[in-house]
Amino acid sequence: MVSFPSYHGDRGAAAMSSPQTYGPWGGSGGTIFDDGIYTGVWQINLTRAVGISSMKVLYDRNGQAVWGNKHGFSGGVSPDKVI
């Protein structure tokens, strides 16, 4: 995950600092993934147990909905949709 922290400068203008990289995280046996290049994100489905156990993203590719692969393990409760 890459984050671009922002803040308001002395004169009230928004300023952006250098990107911060976080992760990867995961349980034992986890691997880094890359779903490819898309033009946007429509929806994120998270499955949880004690923590987040899996995620699946609905991407936008030039106006068309495209599901990425499910990442994580099966189990947990029904997916929660994050819009």
19-74 pLDDT tens trace? 666 666 666 667 778 899 999 999 988 888 777 788 899 999 999 999 999 988 87
pLDDT value at residue 49: 78
Q: For residue 69, what are its two tokens?
A: 């692969």
Q: Collapse the DSSP code of 33 into the 3-class scheme (helix H, G, I; strand E, B; otherwise coil) and give the result.
A: coil
pLDDT value at residue 42: 93
User: What domain range is 52 assigned to?
Assistant: 2-82
- For the chain, helix (H) and strand (E) counts, in that order, are 0, 9
CATH number, domain of 19, equals: 2.100.10.30
Distance of CA 37 to the CA centre of its chain: 13
Domain count, the chain: 1
